[in-house]
Chain A
Amino acid sequence: MTLDVSQFVGVFLEESFEGLDLMEAGLLQFNEDDPEAVNSIFRAAHSIKGGAGTFGFREVSDFTHGAETLLDQIRQGERPMNREISDTLLCAVDCIRDMLRAASDGGEADTARLLETRAAIENLLGTPPAEAAGQDAVQDAEQAAAACGWRIVFKPHADMMKTGNDPLRLIAELERFGPLSVKTRADALPSLSDMEPETCHLHWEIELQATADEAELRAVFDWVEDECELRLESLGASSDAPLPAPAGGRPDTGGTPAVAARPAESARRNDASSIRVAVEKVDSLVNLVGELVITQSMLNQVGNANGEFDVAQVERLREGLGQLERQTRELQEGVMGIRMLPISFVFSRFPRVVRDMAGALGKSVELRMEGEETELDKGLIEKLADPLTHLVRNAIDHGIESAEQRVAAGKPAAGQISLKAYHQGGNIVVEVADDGAGLNREKLLAKAASQGLPVSDSMPDRDVWALIFAAGFSTAEKVTDISGRGVGMDVVRRNIEAVNGRVEIDSAPGQGTHIILRLPLTLAILDGMSVHVGDQTYILPLTAILESIQPSTEQLGTVGGVGRVVHLRGDYLPLIALHETFGVEPKARRPEDGIVIITAASDGRAALLVDGLGAQHQVVIKSLETNYRKVPGISGATIMGDGKVAMILDVDMLLRLRHMH
């Protein structure tokens, strides 16, 4: 029978990549005093090696062997960990990842790097490189001088059965080599009263008519070789030469491995983007669906068999609908939860990024991470990876000063970068902060002026910092190879805004720069508030709303150059009348008859004038661009409960539109 194991390759690759991430993280924060940490790194390597061999990735398993041996020695305390070893092992992790990736998408692994890393590992282990695999073959060939029959004396130790080994089964197994004659010797059998049923008192003399070689026969007893006496005597060599063992001579009990069936191809088949979901999450969904079915039957019973409705049942109907609403919401949250992954999926790469990059720049940088368990949409995680990497690289390259500069400035020699993720309202907030030199206001202004951007010396700090997000703006005097060239902070901002997020920046000279990314929880659903303007309904993202007020006449005014403003607790906020922006006939002709919503945007606060507030909704975002075209000030559309379409407002854009007017 040949079974195809290639169907498990997808799972194997997935768990191997996870194992590699674990090894990498473990190596980066290696601590000799934590034996469980060393063990788990070793286990990951060990599992990859075992699985790789089984699922047909022989080179991966061979390659991993060296790394595993090194880790085993460290785990046993035979070899202390040092920087050289951890660097080599990290390279090995890269190589294994590279090989598995090549295997899964049919690409090529970096052979030069493989050989180099392999040599480094062998060098560390002190083993001569690439010993010939022929040794076994020689040995086997020697033993192949077989006989035409064997006399075997098999004398189990008294305890042999306690390891679950049955002597009769072992003898029966010899039968596959040829006819047997077996004598049972009961000389050592004690009297019945002294006999222990769990002890083996017997031994056997077996004559086997077969041309098997000794190694093959001994292999039958390999599990019990320390638990028995075993003597094999040849019954005279046969005149016809024994069947020559095929080159290598190894008794191949199983035939050619089924796994030879191109694992790469099947991996590709299984590679469709997938999510691993905790069983509990699925169980709770199934549970919810069960509850929904119950609610449905409850609602069915509200009408009688003739399809007539009994007024007395109104209360029951209301109860049923209430239940339905709650369950629908829970179901929705549950289904969205399936798409949620912890942000550690992105964060986990940074210890390596920081180590490698700080090493290359000769800087000393410590990385602190917080809130790695914060969950967000899988799609967002993927979109967050590049901007975050860019921000971290930037912080190391341009933010953190050299150790000498830092010490001269009275700061600790090692710079610090912190990554933090947390929920705030319906948002995910990701912060990247460094304690480096901070942004240089003068330099930014000069650079902006030279690029023809409209700047003035009196600009508030926040507006100056925001300049680094302008297209093609780079403040580093020289472009380093490491943080790359061409792609700048404008791309970061565009990427974040493309997923309905916002970027904020704060900086203090000598104290560092702090960048805050605010992202929606998911790309598919938005928590919003409906607002009314004339006969239209708009959805305002909840994350943008700070408060709403009914303005008094004294609060409204006009400031030259800014236009209409709302005076709120000492601040003047620009007033945007939505009916003017969208050309709608308003119900409230005068602002004091309407409602003013104070919103937070990337560029500061603003006040939106609307006729009235509706209710809070979770709305499903439909793209306006795919279905119609891009409309300035609108980020998308949604369908309301009554079937009408409502536009979702883009507050950042509304504010920018206003500046253009």
Chain B
Amino acid sequence: MAKILAVDDSASMRQMLAFTLQHAGHEVREADNGKAALDAAQAGAVDLVISDVNMPVMDGITLVKSLRGLPAFRFTPILLLTTESSPEKKSEGKAAGATGWIVKPFNPDQLLATVQRVLG
């Protein structure tokens, strides 16, 4: 199935993402900030990036911008994990080039449904 890069500074959130996505048969790599994700993204093929917005070292918006600057990631779907309280993050993320968003809190079924939406 798809190769997914899960990016979040919270270990529980990362584990939950990885567990759910692996359960659905995806291959998951993890990174705990934007910088680490950028390194991981360049180390191997990625079909989808799911990233938190607020992270230390490099935030999700900067990650999206940086990824879109890489030829291999011009059209790769990138989903941002946002909270309902921050609608401005959605437009900021979109402006940076994000494909869409997943609103926290979400449950595994919602996550898989959204992933399905971009991976088909």
Contacts and interface: CB of A to CB of B under 8 A. Distances in A.
A198 B94 CA distance: 18
A11 B12 contact: yes
Contacts of B16: 5, 8, 54-55
B110 A43 contact: no
A223 B108 contact: no
A135 to B, nearest CB: 14
B76 A164 contact: yes
Contacts of B55: 43
Given A253-B113, A258-B109, A169 B12 contact: no
A49 B105 CA distance: 9
B75 to A, nearest CB: 6
B14 to A, nearest CB: 9
B33 to A, nearest CB: 11
Interface residues of A, number: 48
Contacts of A49: 83, 85, 104
Interface in B81-106: 81, 83, 85-86, 91, 94, 97-101, 104-106
Contact of A55 (B11, B12, B99, B120): B12
B117 A259 contact: no
Contact of B77 (A65, A164, A226): A164
B41 to A, nearest CB: 13
A12 interface: yes
Contacts of A255: 109
A11 B117 contact: no
A452 interface: no
A50 interface: yes
Contacts, number: 130
B20 interface: yes
Chain B interface, >50% SS class: mixed
A258 B108 contact: yes
Contacts of B101: 223
A53 B104 contact: yes
Contacts of B113: 253-254
Contacts of A163: 78, 94, 97-99
Interface string B1-24: 000000001111101100110011
A283 B89 CA distance: 39
Chain A interface, >50% SS class: helix
A7 B20 CA distance: 12
B107 A254 contact: yes
Interface string A392-435: 00000000000000000000000000000000000000000000
Nearest to B101: A223
Given A1-B109, A223-B99, A40 B56 contact: yes
Contact of A54 (B76, B77, B94, B107): B107
Interface in A42-84: 42-43, 46-47, 49-55, 61, 65, 68-69, 72
B112 interface: yes
B94 A227 contact: yes
A52 B77 CA distance: 27
Nearest to A255: B109
16 contacts: A11-B11, A42-B54, A46-B83, A50-B52, A50-B81, A55-B105, A163-B78, A163-B94, A163-B97, A165-B100, A222-B100, A223-B99, A253-B110, A254-B110, A257-B107, A258-B109
For the complex of A and B, the 5 pairs showing the least CB-CB separation, nearest first, are A53-B105, A223-B100, A164-B99, A12-B12, A254-B109
Interface of B: 9-13, 15-16, 19-20, 23-24, 52, 54-56, 68, 74-78, 81, 83, 85-86, 91, 94, 97-101, 104-110, 112-113, 117-118, 120
Interface of A: 1-3, 5, 7-9, 11-12, 15, 39-40, 42-43, 46-47, 49-55, 61, 65, 68-69, 72, 161-166, 169, 172-173, 198, 222-223, 226-227, 253-255, 257-259
